[in-house]
Structure 1
Amino acid sequence: MLFAYAPANGHLVRLDDPEGLAEALWIDLYRPMPEQIELVAALGVNVPTLADMEEIEISNRLYREDDLEVMTVVVPGQSVSKTPSAGPVTFMLSPSRLVTVRHHAPRPFETFPERANRAALGCTTPERVFLGLVEEIVGRLADLLEGIGRSVDDISASVFPSETSAGPDELQAALHRVGHESELLSRIRLGLLTVERMLSYFGQTIDGRADAHALKQLVKGEMRDIQALAVHADFLAQRIAMASDATLGMINLQQNNTVRTLSVVAALFLPPTLIASAYGMNFHNMPELDKPWGYPGALALMLASAVATWLYFRWRRWL
């Protein structure tokens, strides 16, 4: 799909006519078709393939091609099947327009067109649209980090309830949530890292651009935001690790309690089993065999041994 936007009264207005791409200030390509790639190529912009975007070499992520700055980052979003994922997004910045290419759906690309006028520098030039979009991405990453923090609070409350201990189902659900939040946090940290590298590269190319001073100030501000979010992400990583350890510890305690109960039950039957084994031996000279009280006596002795064992365990506080 191809989405084209042009500035109008301080806002970004979507262009419905593909023939008017020359007037577009921002062209957003989402899983572009060959005919859409050709339309953008006619403007002098070579759209990279997904394989090119996924290349991890720094020379393929951040480079200059004539007057076109090509920058690729990895940000969280949703795949075609609406499952959480992280994928590359390429920003191609020229003096006349910004072209973005993506094969998944990060939410900032859906929300930014409606809020472009709220960006710090507005949306009147390609550079300002680019930094406004980056600002929207950083804000989205901050929202995701806050969501992870709330989720970790809920996990801790479920693992350590105030009244009763958590059951196996609750602990298993908590462990699943811990894994989910840990995976999301890893995608956010990767996004912060790649966006920071992109801004550092862009900051070296600002000199000579219009509004260079204002652009530099905004880049510095966004870099500070990213660094603060990175510290917050490290803090959340420690909380997630603690929640994971606590959940596994509670599971181990429950398993230990179960094993201890089974061991105690088995131990209660050991003395009666010993007595029954002794009287189950087939020897001729066993006086109790001929006594009328032999059988009930053996039963009473087995019961007394089991009760004595139970009382001993209670005295040692093993039960």
Structure 2
Amino acid sequence: MLKLYRWPSDDWRNIGAEMPSEIIWADLLNATDEEKQFVERLLGIRIPSEESLSEIEASSRLIRDHGTLYLSAPAVRLTEDNEAEITPVGFVIGPHVLVTVRFAELPIFDDIGKRIGSDDSLENGMCVFTSLLEAMIDRGADVLEHLGARVDTLSRGVFRGGLVRTQRPVRSSRRMREALENIGELADRLAKARDVLLGVGRIASFAGDVGSEWITAASKTRLHAVSKDVVSLSDYETRLSDKIQLLLDAVLGFINIQQNELFKVLTIVSVVGVPPTILVGIWGMNFKYMPELEWTFGYALAWLAVIASGVLPLIWFKRRGWFE
């Protein structure tokens, strides 16, 4: 789909050989070959493919060719299952027109598109580009704040006994498994937010430093502010990442403690059961001559010996603090 902003008609096929001066933004969403060729012909540019926009090296994401900027950055979209996925976004910036190339619905682009009709400050493509970056930063800040709140909630549950408060090991194991799943989800969301912030920071810094004559001082100031916001959000993201790593280490530590408790119980049971088993095995042998069979109190003494052989190890474990 091709959408031309500040052009009164939705039918772009009626446009002649030159791009009308009213148009400041051409948004390509899953564009067809015909739409791509139309924009390329009018502006004398090339429309990058999804594969080229997905490349991670800086030389492929930050390009200046004959005064035109070819930039790309990752963005996050939500699937129907509310799962976050990375999708590439391309920006082709010229003296007057901005061309965006994307392959997923992104609410930020729709919001900026609604502003164009009423916001006179969006006078050219660079202004629209700067507004898009600012909106992406605002969205990234909201995501980090949401993730920070979830991390704090999970942290309280982990360090205030929420995982091992119950005396039933099955419930503790289920809670620990859920905690690990939540930590993995948070780490994945945070990694995607980090990718977006790094991408926005790179293209904002590059666009502000190229020095093209059609990039105004006001736009450069706004791009510099975007770069500073990226730095501050990156610091916050680093702190969240460290906290998530701490939570992961803590949960794994609780799992090890629970396993040690289980092995402790198994050790006590095995040690307590060995002496009675030996005595019962000895007295259960079918030998013809066994002196204990002739004892008057042999049966009672045998019971006493079996019970004592099981109780004495328990007393020893108790003194060693194994039941605490």
TM-score range, shorter chain: 0.7 to 0.9
Q: Is 1:5 paired with 2:9?
A: no
1:190 aligns to what SS in structure 2? helix
Residue 236 (structure 1) aligns with: 240
Deviations 1:149-180 (A, max 9, x none): 11111211222335762622121111111111
Change (3 A) 1:162 1:263: closer
TM-score, L = length of structure 1: 0.87
Give the superposition deviation at 1:249.
0.8
Change (3 A) 1:118 1:313: farther
2:48 aligns to what SS in structure 1? coil
Rounded to whole Å, the distance in 2 between the matches of 1:144 and 1:70 is 27
Q: Is 1:191 paired with 2:196?
A: yes
Rounded to whole Å, the distance in 2 between the matches of 1:116 and 1:151 is 35
Change (3 A) 1:108 1:308: same
Listed as ranges, the gaps of 5+ residues in structure 2 are 167-171
Q: Contact conserved, 1:87 with 1:103, CA < 8 A, in 2?
A: yes
Deviations 1:109-130 (A, max 9, x none): 24333456898x9322111100
Residue 33 (structure 2) aligns with: 34
Q: Contact conserved, 1:3 with 1:15, CA < 8 A, in 2?
A: no
Moved more, 259-268 or 74-83: 74-83
Residue type of the partner of 1:49? S
Moved more, 48-57 or 230-239: 48-57
Rounded to whole Å, the distance in 2 between the matches of 1:4 and 1:260 is 71
Q: Which structure 2 residues correspond to residues 149-228 of structure 1 after superposition, within 5 A?
A: 149-161=148-160, 165=165, 167-209=172-214, 212-228=216-232
Q: Which structure 2 residues correspond to residues 124-143 of structure 1 after superposition, within 5 A?
A: 124-143=123-142
Moved more, 162-171 or 182-191: 162-171
Rounded to whole Å, the distance in 2 between the matches of 1:79 and 1:46 is 29
1:43 aligns to what SS in structure 2? helix
Q: Contact conserved, 2:26 with 2:98, CA < 8 A, in 1?
A: yes
Rounded to whole Å, the distance in 1 between the matches of 2:65 and 2:144 is 35
How many residues are paired up? 311
- The CA RMSD measured in Å over matched residues stands at 2.7
2:214 aligns to what SS in structure 1? coil
Change (3 A) 1:80 1:61: farther
Rounded to whole Å, the distance in 2 between the matches of 1:20 and 1:214 is 35
Residue type of the partner of 1:147? H
Q: Contact conserved, 1:27 with 1:100, CA < 8 A, in 2?
A: yes
Deviations 1:74-115 (A, max 9, x none): 232235876312132110011231111122344422433345
Equivalent in 284, 296, 311 of residue 307 of structure 1 = 311
User: What is the percent sequence identity of the aligned residues?
Assistant: 30
Residue 320 (structure 2) aligns with: 316
Change (3 A) 1:217 1:150: same
Rounded to whole Å, the distance in 1 between the matches of 2:229 and 2:204 is 12
Give the superposition deviation at 1:70.
0.7
Residue 17 (structure 1) aligns with: 11
